[in-house]
Structure formats: C-alpha cells, structure tokens
C-alpha cells in the first residue's frame, strides 16, 4: 500500500514553492520596468495604482512563503487559487499600464500554461481558462478604445 509523500516532497507543495519563486522574480522585474519606464523614459502611468498592485502581489508572495513554512500540506485547490491570484494581479497591472498594448501582455500565458502543465484534469475547467482569455480582451476594450486614451 503506497504511503503519502512527506510534506516537502508532495507535488502541490513543490509546485507552490516554484510558483512563489517565479512570482518573486517576475514582479521584481515588472517593478524595475515600471521604474525605468516612469523615471528614465517618461511614461505617464497611474503610479500609485500600479505600485499598489505590485505591493499587493509582493505581500501575497510574503504570505505564501509564511504559509509554506506551516506543516499543513498544500492541495491542488490552494495552488489553483494562487494561479488565479496571479492572473488577477496581471489583469490589474495590464489595465493600469496600457492593456493589450503593454509589451508584457504575453506573460498572461504563463499562469495558464503552468496550470495546464501542473494541475490535475479535475481542476482544469476550460471555462476558467476561457474567462482568463476574455479578461484579456476586456482589458483591451477598456484601455485601448479608439475614443479614449489608455490610462
């Protein structure tokens, strides 16, 4: 009879550790790109809103590291919620930084690809993935309308 893997070796736990590392690197890169864009290149952004999104995602990352230090196992649902939080953070960031005209918009595919590669089929609901795709177009419609300049 197979026994359950110890906590550090469980797949969702390892995946969440990797996701947290990737999230930290990515959002640090986004912050550097924002600073360079605003300070050196003169981009006009809603800086408090954009920095607020980056701080919120940094706080989520710190909370995730704290949570990973607890002895409770990570399940697939919790891992999925972290991926959805990443998609929500990206949606807000792209909304405030030009929508579909943002050069980093292709990063939207990373959480969806990670979900497809790491989550069991029971957690992959194509309606959720389709909804993430629809959010991308909503951001494009909200931010890049021909009648209004993007924020």
- Sign of the torsion angle spanned by Cα atoms 36, 22, 110, 72: negative
- Per-residue DSSP letter, 74: P
Parent domain of 139:
7-143
In a domain, 90, yes or no: yes
Give CA angle at 60 (9, 79), nearest 5°: 40
Prediction pTM value: 0.73
Give CA angle at 26 (7, 68), nearest 5°: 20
Please state the domain count of the chain. Answer: 1
In a domain, 151, yes or no: no
Rg (CA), the chain: 17
Instruction: List CB contacts of 120: < 8 A, sequence separation 6 or more.
Output: 76
Residue 131: band (very low, low, confident or very high) from pLDDT cuts 50, 70, 90: low
In this predicted structure, the answer to whether residue 19 has a pLDDT above a threshold of 70 is: yes
pLDDT tens string 27-82: 999 999 889 988 998 888 888 999 999 999 999 999 999 999 888 888 888 998 99
In a domain, 148, yes or no: no
Phi (first) and psi of residue 33, to 5 degrees: -65, -40
In a domain, 126, yes or no: yes
In a domain, 13, yes or no: yes
């Amino acid at each position: 009879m197979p026994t359950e893997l110890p906590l550090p070796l469980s797949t969702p736990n390892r995946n969440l550790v990797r996701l947290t590392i990737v999230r930290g690197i990515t959002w640090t890169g986004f912050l550097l790109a924002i600073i360079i864009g605003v300070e050196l290149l003169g981009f006009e952004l809603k800086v408090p809103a954009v920095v607020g999104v980056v701080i919120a995602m940094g706080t989520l990352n710190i909370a995730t590291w704290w949570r990973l230090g607890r002895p409770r196992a990570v399940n697939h649902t919790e891992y999925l919620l972290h991926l959805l939080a990443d998609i929500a953070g990206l949606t807000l960031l792209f909304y405030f930084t030009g929508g579909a005209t943002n050069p980093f918009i292709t990063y939207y595919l990373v959480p969806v690809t990670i979900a497809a590669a790491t989550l069991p089929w029971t957690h992959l609901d194509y309606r959720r993935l389709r909804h993430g795709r629809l959010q991308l177009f909503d951001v494009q419609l909200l931010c890049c309308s021909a009648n209004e300049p993007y924020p």
